[in-house]
Amino acid sequence: MPPRRRATIATMTKAGIKQLLKFGVSLLLLFFILRLIDWRGSLELAGRANLGLMAVAVGLLLVERILSVSKWLLLLRAKGSPITFWRLLVINYIGGFWGLVLPSSVSADIVRGYYLSKSTANVSLAVTSMVIDRLMGALSLVFLGCVSAWMVGDTFGLVHARLIAAGVAGGSILAIALLFHNDFIHWVDRRIIQRVADRKIIRQVRRWIVSCLKYRQYPQALCMSFLLTMFVQMLRILVFYAVAVSFGVHVSVTYYFIFVPLMMFLIILPVSINGIGVREGSFVAFFALVGVPSAQAFIISFVVSVLTTLMTAVGGIVYMFDKSAITTQKSEVRDQMSETRDQNKESLARSKKSE
C-alpha cells in the first residue's frame, strides 16, 4: 500500500474514532440527564406549549439566519465580491444541512467555503471571509460572556467571577490591539511562520493569514459585522426565552442573557456531537440556580435544539432544488471523466512505445 494512501486511511480512522467518542459523550450526558429529571413531566409540559409563541421562536431563528448571511455578505462586499444575498443564503443553508449530515464539526464551513469558492472563483476570499466571520462570532461571545459574568458576580457562589471576566476582557482587547500592530505581525511572521514556510501547506496558510489581515483596511465593515453578530447572538438568546414562555416558564429575561452565552461557550468545546448533551446539561444546571425545575429546563433546551435542527435541515430541500449545485456536480464529473480518459490515453501511448 502506498505511504500516502496509508496516511490517508490512518487520518480517517483517527477522525472516525474521535467522532465515536463524541457520540458516546453525547449519549452518556443525555442518559445521565434523563436519569436525573422527571422526563414524564417534560413530556406533559411539551403538550401544553403555546403554538403562537413557538411560531415567534421560529421567526426569530429565521431572522437570525438572515442576519448571519447579511454580516457574511458585508465582509465579502468589502473586498469587492459580486455575490448576491440570495446566492449566499442558499450557500448558508446548504452548508448547514451538510453540517448535520457529515461527521466533522467544521463540515458546514467546509461545504460553505467550497460553494462560495465556486461562485466567486476565489478560494482565498471564501476562506478568509469565513475566518473573520467566525472571529467576530467568538468576540461577540466573549463580550456577552464577560458581561454576563460581571452581572452574576458572586451571586451564585462563583468566586472571583468579575475578576476572571475582567481578565478575559482585557486579554481579548490586548489580542485585538496586537492584530492591528504591524510590528508585532512582522515579528510573528519572521520568528515563527517563515521558519516553517518551506512546507506547501504553511505557505498557503500564510497567504490566507495575510488576506485576513487585509480586513484591517475596512474598519467600518468590521464594526458593522461585529454589531450584526451581537444582534445574532441576542436573537439566539431570545429564542430560548420565547420557547420558555410558550411552556409557561416565566423567568426574568435577564437570566437568559446571563446564562445562555455561558452555555454557548461550553457548546463550542469539541467534546460532543453538535453540542448535544452539553447544551441540555448546562442549561439545566444554570437555570436550577434560579429555581427552574430540571424537567422544564430540559424540555426548553431540547425543543430549541429540535427547532434549530429543523431550520437547518431545510438546507437539504434547498440543495435538491439548487441548479448551480447540480451544474457544479455535472461539470466536476465531466472533468473527472476527461482527466481519466487523458490518463488512459497516456498509459496506452506509453505501452505502445514500450512494445
Pairwise CA distance, residues 88 & 322, whole Å: 12
pLDDT digits (tens, 9 = 90+) for 111-138: 888 888 887 767 788 888 888 898 888 8
| Sign of the alpha-carbon dihedral angle for 75, 134, 324, 119 | positive
Residue count of the chain, please give it: 355
Q: How far apart are the C-alpha atoms of 124 and 130, rounded to whole Å? A: 10
The pLDDT mean for the chain works out to: 79
Grid cell of 258 as nine digits: 446571563
In order of 66, 96, 112, the CA distances from 93 in angstroms are 11, 5, 9
Q: pLDDT class for 56, splitting at 50, 70, 90?
A: very high
- Round to whole Å and give the CA distance between 54 and 223: 32
What mean pLDDT comes out for the span 232-258?
Answer: 90
Q: How confident is the model at residue 243 (pLDDT cuts 50, 70, 90)?
A: very high
pLDDT band per the 50, 70, 90 thresholds, residue 329:
very low
Contact 57, 242 (CB under 8 A): yes
Does residue 326 carry a pLDDT above 50?
no
Contact at 8 Å (CB) between 294 and 284?
A: yes
Return the CA Rg of the chain.
24
Cα–Cα dist 94/319, whole Å: 6
How far apart, in whole angstroms, are the C-alpha atoms of residue 70 and residue 85?
Answer: 7
Cell output for 214 = 487585509
pLDDT confidence of residue 60 = 95
User: Which parts of the chain fold into alpha helices (H)?
Assistant: 3-36, 39-46, 51-78, 85-101, 107-120, 123-152, 161-179, 182-188, 200-213, 219-246, 253-268, 278-288, 294-321, 323-354
Residue 154, burial from CB neighbour count under 10 angstroms (0-12, 13-18, 19+): exposed
What residues does each domain of the chain span?
52-179+218-343
pLDDT band, residue 344 (cuts 50/70/90): low
pLDDT for residue 231: 93
- What is the CB neighbour count within 10 angstroms for residue 164? 14
Per DSSP, 321 falls in state H
Q: Which of 196-200, 239-243, 279-283 has the lowest mean pLDDT?
A: 196-200
CA dihedral sign, ordered 252, 255, 261, 267: negative
From the list 254, 259, 236, the residue with the least C-alpha distance to 149 is 259
Cα 218 from chain centroid?
24
Q: How far, CA to CA in Å, does 286 sit from each of 8, 259, 263, 280, 293?
A: 42, 6, 8, 10, 11
User: How far from chain centre, in Å, is Cα 161?
Assistant: 27
Higher pLDDT, 201 or 91: 91
Are 140 and 349 spatial neighbours (Cβ–Cβ below 8 Å)? Answer: no
| Band of residue 331 on the pLDDT scale cut at 50, 70, 90 | very low
Model confidence at 353: pLDDT above 60: no
CA distances from 112 to 120, 221, 293, 337 (A): 12, 21, 39, 25
Per-residue pLDDT band at 278 (split at 50, 70, 90): confident
